Amino acid sequence: MLAALVLPMSVQAEKAQLELRVKSAFIYNFTKYITWQETPVNAGTEFLRICVVRDREVFDLMRETIAMKPSQGRVVDVVLLRERNEISDCHVAYVPEARSMQDWRREMQVAGLVTIGEGSRFVDDGGVFGFVIVDDKIRFEINLELAESKGIKISSKLLSLAKRVVY
C-alpha cells in the first residue's frame, strides 16, 4: 500500500527500506521473547547488543529504528560489525542478505549468540532465525535445535508464530 504511493523511481528503494524497518522491528521483538544463558561475556552489561554484520546502510537504518529501545531490562544498542573478533560482545548478530556467513561460520557458532539471517537456507545452514516472505508478508523460521545447543531459550509464543521450526 505504502509502496504504491511513492514515486516509481524510488519504489524499489522505498520497499527495501520498509522491509528493513519491519525486519528491525522483528529483531527488536525477538529479543523480548528470548532468554540468554548468562555467560561471562553478556552478564552485567546494561546493553543488549544487536550487531549488524558489515553493512553500513542496514546498520544506519536499524539504529534509527530500534536503537536505545528497552528490552528485558536492558537498552538496545545497535553495533556495526566489521571484524570477526568483535562478535563476542554481541547478543544478536544480523547477517543482511548481501552478506554471506560462510567466512564467519566459526565465530557464528559461539554460545549465546542469536544469529538472524535471510531465507530458509540460513536456518538450515546454522542460523537461529531466518526471515522469509510469505504472501508479501515477512515471516520467520527458527532452528530450535541450534538455539538450544547454544543455550538460548526461545519463548513458545515466538515458536508458535514461526513459519517453520527446525528441530
Partner 1 sequence: MAMRLLNISNLPIRYKMIVAILGTSLFVLLINAVVYLALGWGTTKTRIEHELKVTSQIYAENVSAALSFNDEQAANTLLASLKVITELELACVYKVDAGTQEADLFAQYSVNAGNSGCKSGNLLLSDSEMSQHLEVISPVKVGNDLIGYVYFRRTIDDLVASTKLSATTVLLTLLISIAVAYSLASFFRRLIERPIGSLLAVTQKLSNDADFTTRVEKFADDEIGSLIDSFNNMLAQIQERDTQLRATRRELELRVSEVESSNNILNETLVRLKKTQEQLVHQEKMASLGALVAGVAHEINTPIGVGVTASSTLHGATEETLGLYENGKLTDSGLRKYMSTAMQSANILLTNLNRAANLIHSFKQVAVDQSSSETRQFNLREYIDEVLLSLRPRIKKTQVAVTVDVDSSISVHSYPGAISQILTNLVINSLIHAFPNGEAGEILVACELLENDEIRMHYTDNGVGMSDKNLQKIFDPFFTTRRGAGGSGLGMHIVYNLVNQQLGGSIAIESTEGQGIDVVITFPSNIRHQRIAQSAGVVT
CA 63 to chain CA mean position, Å: 13
CB-nearer residue toward partner 1: 42 or 71: 71
CB-nearer residue toward partner 1: 100 or 155: 155
CB-nearer residue toward partner 1: 33 or 47: 33
Please report where in the chains the cell 545447543 appears, as a residue. Answer: 149
Instruction: Output the smallest distance, CB 49 to partner 1, in A.
Output: 18
Residues that bind partner 1 (CB under 8 A): 26, 29, 32-33, 70-72, 139, 155, 157-158, 160-161
Beta-strand relationship, 74-81 and 70-71: antiparallel
Instruction: Output the smallest distance, CB 94 to partner 1, in A.
Output: 16
